[in-house]
Amino acid sequence: MRLDGLAQQAHPDKRPSLLTLSSFGPKDKAKFERLLVEYQADNQLPDLFITRPSTRRLFAFLNKH
């Protein structure tokens, strides 16, 4: 799974680096999947996604890798 869909839409200076799930160990992969589901469920309105705690947790987690 590649997480580059948003990268194609974002401004070049703000694009996240490409990431694959193979970058994660088993524990991190499970945590990523849990955070992603939580992110999708919590963010019903796209214009509010950046203010949601789940979004901050997701990006904080991804930023570590």
Report the Cα 38 to chain-centroid distance in Å.
11
Residue 57 is assigned to a structural domain of this protein? yes
Total domains, the chain:
1
> Looking at 1-65, which runs of residues are DSSP E strands?
none
- Token pair 């214009």 is found at 47
Residue 56 is assigned to a structural domain of this protein? yes
Do the Cβ atoms of 7 and 18 come closer than 8 Å?
yes
DSSP-based three-state secondary structure for 54: helix
Range of the domain at 55: 20-63
**pLDDT digit string (tens) for 7-18?**
445 555 555 555
Q: What sign does the CA torsion over 25, 65, 14, 17 have?
A: negative
Side-chain-facing half-sphere of 29: CA atoms under 13 Å:
8
**pLDDT digit string (tens) for 32-58?**
878 877 877 787 656 566 677 887 887
Residue 13 is assigned to a structural domain of this protein? no
